[in-house]
A and B are shown apart, each in its own frame.
Chain A
Amino acid sequence: MQRPLPTGRRLLRGKRRPIWIQGFTIMALLLAMGQRAQAAPESANEYSVKAAFLFHFAQLTTWPPRIFTSTGSPLVFCTIGKDPFGGVLDSAVENKIVQGHPAKVLHLKQVIGLEGCHLLFIGTQEMPRMPAIIAALHGLPVLTVGEADEFLKQGGMIDFRSQDDRLRFDVNLEAAQSSNLAFSSTLLSLARTITR
């Protein structure tokens, strides 16, 4: 690559200028902006935002009508294993009405009683149990939402993805349809990718 050089390095005689003013103008502007903008609270804890997403997902999903025995029967959000929301989901959706049904949150410890859920969140920690969960659901109309890389491949329906520090989600439409769930076009139009 590098062989002996034909000429020696020459010393340079360049002009030195005083410190450039423009850099400081921009610095001053930035600092000024910094002072103005401190109030805007547009970032939030990951799981607070995910909880709000779940609320919207529930609003934008159609369950088969027969699974709600009456208009007063609750729409149940479930987590499994250790609650990754740390109670945030409970406070976000309780006392709210989703599609005419009061929202309720259940924290399941084991893969038992999944048929009582309408929406089930499966955190990254619970991915080893994913095959057991999918087997237990066996086509029941339960909307599964996850956050792991392989979630959709393992049969999940909506998968949270993080992109540039913002939340996105991918949708596995095939899995939802085979469980008799339908998504609104609003939900689908916001999905990053859709597997059909």
Chain B
Amino acid sequence: MQASASSTGLSSLMHRPAFWRVIFSSAALLLLFCGALPAQDSSDLTDRSLQDLMNMKVYSASRYSQLVSEAPASVTVISRDQIERGGYRTLADILRSVRGFYISYDRQYSYLGVRGFSDSGDYNTRVLLMVDGHRMNDAIYEQAMIGTEFVLDVGTIERVEITRGPSSSLYGTNAVFAVVNVITRNASDVSGLEVEGGAGTLNTYRGRITYGGTVAGVNALLSGAFYGSRGNKRLYYPEYDSPVTNNGIARDVDDDQAWNLLATLSIRGFRFQAAYSDRDKGDPTGSFADVFNNPWNRERDARGYLDLRYERTIGETTLMARTYYDRYVNDGQFLQDYSPDPPVFNRDFGRGESWGAEFQAISTLRNRYKVVSGFEYRNDFRQEMLNYNVDPLSYYTKSDHPSFVAAPYIEAEIPLTSRLSLAPSLRADYNPRVNWMVSPRAALNYRFTDKTRAKLIYGESFRSPNSYELYYLEGQQPLHAERIATWEGDFEQELDSHLSASLSAFYNKTNHFIAMGEDDFWGSQFVNEGQQKLAGVETEMRGHWLNGTAATLSYSNDFEQRDVSGAVPENSPKHIAKLYLSVPVFHQKLFATMDAQYLSHRMTIHDERVSSYVVVNLTLFGKQIRKDLDLTFRVDNLFNKRYSDPAAQQHLQNAIPQDGRTVSGKLLWRFGGK
């Protein structure tokens, strides 16, 4: 790793697909040899050294390990250890490291691509984002916000559980290509006070204070964080290169400010959680025909919720009841270009509010069949959208169409033989906009040995047209729900105590795909376009050694990519390769971590190519370098690679250039507690 940091020859090498081919082949060969080594066999574990024991995988009845190997889906868990060592600062950073995922950024929001899907103009509506099981996709745009606009600071995340494939059979709409569940830290994990401060290039500052402890018998976690960045002082967009638009230079309009609060209180079976975040971002791209290079063009997103739940176990049954309130406000202001007429100040306002309740019972029948059944009701009682020019006052959009969802669901785990089990699940959603939507899923899980597992999954998921798609644009015709059928096969193999490998193959077919129609400008509408097909394979090898070294190598190939017209969909790379390598350079105190991503070329909506790239990030993490002090130093885009992400319909640009090399550091102090 240090070699790669100092060698510039390697950087150019890494841009060649051949390089990755060699890496993969040699890794595969290495694994072959490891697999061929004679296995140590000893039934008496006390003969093993403590080091050996520490390296041994343990299987237990804990939910965590069940989730990964027995879940009726392909699951990845990113632990706090990985987050700390990787120096990740946003949820988008974390997800960027996940097999098959890719992130696009248009200097407004971060967009998550999963299994070759990241439609330009889509606001992450085919991914369900949750915090501790609480739905985060808002009530209007149903957007999963994952960048600095995400509701939590990364410092309060314990782990991130990623379930690929359809999960509408448990969670309803949006759970199409993946579910991302962010688990927050416990009060006892923090145990005392944590104070974090950091700074980086682009005039970026961050801070966080978190308290975890027991106050009057209540386990409390309280956290507050802020983030501020001036952003790029100068961004050049050749599409705007004209004297009227400042020769294509956007100066000092890339700033980003965010703050958030989190409180989790638990006592006995009760848990109350409140979260709130507010982000204000300048738009340097001049999107939506705004006056280019103007600091008035800003988007503000505020997201918050309250969630109260109660859990109790009676005999073989665990009961859960919860109720919640959600709020999302989007406030945008823009100076719109009507040249040669003078510009007009436009405001865009969205407010979504919901409340809901859920009951769930998890029981084991006849000591054999695990059954999860429940009922969820969510009332999106406010779905207000306004778009108007301020002077003279004229409305383009003024709508508020409340809606609701009522959905019973059931999931079971049925052991068929000692090795084979079946996990069927079914959910029926009633939503007045689309009536009943029934989502089934069935997963067969076969255990060849303790080390080898295979899963076969078929599932159907759906996405209801959201308020934005139905009511924002003038003259919008009614829309059907989008329906997605998925076939998936997973194969997991533990090679030895250090190494494991997995392989997934998937096939997704989307019917009634909802996207922007072909009409121009104000007359544009959302339509159910037709069929989209994506199929691919994903492979991953993970290593974990006693000295603290951890490595993950993954490769994804989408071999079938067809959008509604039979062409390759936009923003869909055929190949994605990733490497995460973390080594302790000084005892268990200082870790050096490299995470690298390769994406093959992508097409834009204007049918042009955005070239492939390799981006390498390097992080040094000092864990308890002094008793109560952690230190993180991170270089993003180490080799200063110039690359771009495809732009969307609202952009004049074909692609949005991304940041070059940036550097950041942070310090974390712990007071009190353990």
Using CB atoms and an 8 Å cutoff, list the residues of chain A in contact with chain B. Answer: 1-16, 19-20, 22-24, 26-27, 29-34, 36-46, 48-49, 51-53, 55-56, 60, 92-93, 96, 149-150, 152-153, 162-168, 170, 186-187, 190, 193, 195
Contact = CB atoms under 8 A, between A and B. Distances in A.
B107 to A, nearest CB: 14
B50 A150 contact: no
B244 interface: no
B53 A33 contact: no
Nearest to A92: B46
Contact of A12 (B54, B60, B143, B570): B570
Given A8-B524, A37-B35, A190-B50, A43 B497 contact: yes
Contacts of B501: 30, 33-34
Given A46-B59, A52-B46, A92-B45, 7 more contacts: A4-B473, A32-B32, A36-B32, A39-B39, A51-B45, A152-B674, A190-B54
Given A49-B45, A92-B44, A40 B79 contact: no
Given A14-B567, A49-B56, A195-B674, A33 B46 contact: no
Contacts of A167: 53-54, 56, 58
Contact of A153 (B191, B332, B544, B570): B191
Contacts, number: 262
B605 A33 contact: no
A12 B607 contact: yes
Interface of B: 21, 24, 28, 31-32, 34-37, 39-41, 44-46, 48-51, 53-60, 62, 64-65, 68, 79, 81, 121, 123, 141, 143, 186, 188-189, 191, 288-289, 299, 301, 330, 332, 334, 346, 348, 350, 387, 396, 448-452, 468, 472-474, 491, 493-497, 501, 503, 505, 515-522, 524, 536-537, 539, 544, 555, 557, 559-570, 574, 603, 605-607, 624, 649-650, 652, 674
B363 to A, nearest CB: 20
Given A11-B518, A162-B62, A163-B79, A34 B674 contact: no
A193 to B, nearest CB: 7
A148 B281 CA distance: 43
Contact of B28 (A30, A92, A162, A166): A30
Contacts of A37: 34-36, 451, 493-496
Contacts of A23: 536-537, 539, 555, 557, 559
B649 A7 contact: yes
B670 to A, nearest CB: 11
23 contacts: A2-B141, A4-B524, A8-B518, A14-B567, A19-B559, A22-B21, A23-B555, A29-B31, A31-B491, A31-B503, A34-B452, A34-B501, A37-B496, A40-B494, A40-B495, A41-B41, A43-B450, A53-B53, A92-B45, A166-B56, A166-B544, A190-B54, A193-B674
A152 B191 CA distance: 12
A168 B53 CA distance: 9
